[in-house]
Amino acid sequence: MLAVEKGSEMAKKDDLDLVWGVEAIGAIIGRTYQQTYHMIQSGHLPMVKRVGERYVASRAKIVAFFMEDAA
């Protein structure tokens, strides 16, 4: 399993909690591919970053972003 050094600890790849791709991000927020892509391009999902030709975000940051508005 791939490990990434994190201070003096080793974190497993799964611990990074990353969601790759517009479709996967859309599944988390309950939106279609097109709706999600539009939200990303419009800046409505600031936690989503572009890496090469793919989009990536932390699942925890996506959930926190939407839970913040609900509180």
Residue 37 located in a structural domain: yes
Range from 13-17, 55-59, 62-66 carrying the lowest mean pLDDT: 13-17
Residue 1 located in a structural domain: no
Q: Where in 27-67 does DSSP place strands (E)?
A: 49-51, 54-58
What is the residue range of 57's domain? 16-70
Residue 39 located in a structural domain: yes
Tokens of residue 8, six digits: 């003096």
CA distance 3 to 21: 22
Q: pTM here? A: 0.75
Residue 7 located in a structural domain: no
pLDDT tens-place string over residues 39-54: 999 999 999 999 999 9
- Non-local (6+) Cβ contacts of 47 within 8 A are 57, 58, 61, 62, 65
Domains held by the chain: number = 1
Residue 62 located in a structural domain: yes
CA angle 39, 19, 43 (to 5 degrees): 20
Residue 9 located in a structural domain: no
Residue 33 located in a structural domain: yes
